[in-house]
Amino acid sequence: MAGLLACPECRLGLEATDRALRCGRGHSFDIAKQGYVSLLTGASTKMTGDTAAMLDARAAFQSEGHFAPIADAVAAAVVGPVGDRAETLLEVGAGTGYYLSTALDAAPQTRGIALDVAKPAARRCARTHPRAAAVLADAWRGLPVRDGVLAGVLSVFAPRNPAEVARVLDAGGRFVVAAPTARHLAELIDPLGMVTVDPDKDRRITEAMSGLFEQVDRVVVEYPMKLDRAAVAQVVGMGPSAHHAEQARDPRLAALPEPMEVTASVMVSTYRPRR
Ligand SMILES: C[S@@+](CC[C@H](N)C(=O)[O-])C[C@H]1O[C@@H](n2cnc3c(N)ncnc32)[C@H](O)[C@@H]1O
Ligand SMILES: [Zn+2]
């Protein structure tokens, strides 16, 4: 896997040595004892990403299967073109690594790179799947990956950086983007004061992608979930609203019906690079 990664300082390929990855110019990046490699450069440190508490909440919610239909749709979109070839997939902003793992399970010859800017995410991703490696990096500083080496890139509720994704995909590669629609978790927004989805999000994504990518498919994955109070607390705690309403949320949560029907609604868009 190291052979696919590029030095974040000089862009040369990296090679694995004992407990580090090194480039030909002598830049060296330690493999943490938790199993991930840190390719963060000094300039990246302002981005911290999700907290350990957000990741715990997300892992608990995902393990109940509430987002399994989304994971299956993302996996189908990215592994369809790969078939049984031994290709590599990358998830940007991988978080718990749930979506990458589901895709790797669906294509047994593939391997994966889980990239996230948050240390607690990189730690989790290092043990998320036997065929996945975890990289700590800031996607906005460029992807630490060599040109044209990946068959698929996933971004699920996560940053995108289309120019960098176009650079690292091979000619037949696919970029799968999953983003919430305005109906996603709509029943919780008012009662819990959650952050709303920008109604213009889909148009903004399409615009940012259009020069570099051609859309080949899009599906809305929408279904009702039956959530108990613990699951509602997890879904709030794992998202952008976790940074706000931390204290205020409990009494409002207790006032909700249990179980509560909540809509999951996500647009899964598949793109191929324009050549
Ligand atoms: C809403 S979470 C989604 C995580 C995962 N895809 C999921 O749905 O379970 C967004 C993730 O992107 C990561 N992230 C945010 N900014 C990033 C950046 N600049 N580079 C890499 N990862 C980033 C966060 O740390 C977080 O894990
Ligand atoms: Zn270097």
Binding site membership of 50 for ligand 1 (Cβ less than 6 Å): yes
Give the residue ranges of DSSP H helices in the chain.
Answer: 52-63, 68-79, 98-106, 119-126, 162-168, 186-192, 201-210, 229-237, 249-254
Which of 55, 116, 221 maximizes ligand 1 atoms within 8 Å of its Cβ, making it the mutation to test the pocket? 116
Q: What is the structure's pLDDT at 243? A: 59
- Closest-CA residue to 269 (of 196, 205, 186): 205
Q: What is the structure's pLDDT at 197? A: 81
**Lowest mean pLDDT, pick from 12-26, 177-191, 196-210:** 196-210
**How are beta strands 150-156 and 14-16 bridged, if at all?**
unpaired
Binding site membership of 98 for ligand 1 (Cβ less than 6 Å): yes
Strand ranges of the sheet holding 28-30, from the earlier edge strand across to the other edge: 14-16, 20-23, 28-30
Share of the chain above pLDDT 90, in %: 77
Q: What is the structure's pLDDT at 202? A: 84
Mean pLDDT of all residues in 1-23: 93
Nearest CA to ligand 1 atom 7: 95
C-alpha 154 to ligand 2 mean position (Å): 26
Q: What is the number of the ligand 1 atom nearest to the C-alpha of 158? A: 10
pLDDT higher than 80, residue 120: yes
pLDDT higher than 80, residue 186: yes
* Token digits of residue 33: 């004892």
Residues with CB under 5 A from ligand 2 (ion): 7, 9-10, 23, 25, 27
C-alpha 21 to ligand 2 mean position (Å): 10
CA angle, 14 then 20 then 26, to 5°? 55
Task: For the chain, give the number of residues.
Answer: 275
197-200, Cβ contacts within 8 angstroms, sequence gap of 24 or more: none
Mean pLDDT of all residues in 147-168: 96
Q: What is the structure's pLDDT at 246? A: 54
* Cβ-based neighbours of 249, under 8 Å, separated by 6 or more: 192, 193, 233, 236
Q: What is the structure's pLDDT at 247? A: 47
Q: What is the pLDDT of residues 223-259, one digit of tens each?
A: 999 999 999 999 999 987 765 545 445 788 888 999 9
Contact (Cβ atoms closer than 8 angstroms) between residue 165 and residue 150: no
Contact (Cβ atoms closer than 8 angstroms) between residue 268 and residue 219: yes
Q: What is the pLDDT of residues 255-274, one digit of tens each?
A: 899 999 999 999 999 999 99
Dihedral sign (CA 121, 111, 74, 271): positive
pLDDT higher than 70, residue 61: yes
Mean pLDDT for the chain overall: 92
In angstroms, the Cα distances linking 205 to 179, 201, 210, 212 are 9, 6, 9, 12
Mean pLDDT of all residues in 179-185: 95
Question: Which pLDDT band, with edges at 50, 70 and 90, does 1 fall under?
Answer: confident
Three-state DSSP at 10 gives: coil
